[in-house]
Amino acid sequence: MRPASNLKPATYRCPFCGKHLASMSEHVLIAPEDDRSKRRHAHMDCVQRARQAGRLPTRDEWLAATRGPRPSLGARLRGLLPGRRLDE
């Protein structure tokens, strides 16, 4: 998650409370580590509530919790490009 500011006149739906939020209002971007395209805009208050409930680790906390043997770069790339062989 990171602070977000957006000047585009768009509204987003907060994944925590389900209500719309104005892009100009204070909010944050959250995204699963494995898929940046699934990022969501959420109310700052809702995120803080989720954080206090332990449901939303920060990037640093997530990395610390998952540090360890990681898939090879090739395996990770194959996961991103299903059906394509990288050695062709």
List contacts with Zn ion (CB under 5 A): 14, 16-17, 43, 46
Which residue, 17 or 81, has its beta carbon nearer to Zn ion?
Answer: 17
The DSSP output letter for 34 is T
- Are the C-beta atoms of residues 73 and 81 closer than 8 Å to each other? no
Instruction: Pick the closer one to Zn ion by CB: 13 or 76.
Output: 13
Q: Residue 14 or 30: which CB sits closer to Zn ion?
A: 14
Rounded to a whole number of angstroms, the minimum distance from the CB of residue 46 to Zn ion is 3
Rounded Cα distance, 20 and 7, in Å? 16
Min. distance of Cβ 75 from Zn ion in angstroms? 36
CB 19 to Zn ion: min, Å: 6
On whether the CB atoms of residues 22 and 14 are closer than 8 A, the answer is no
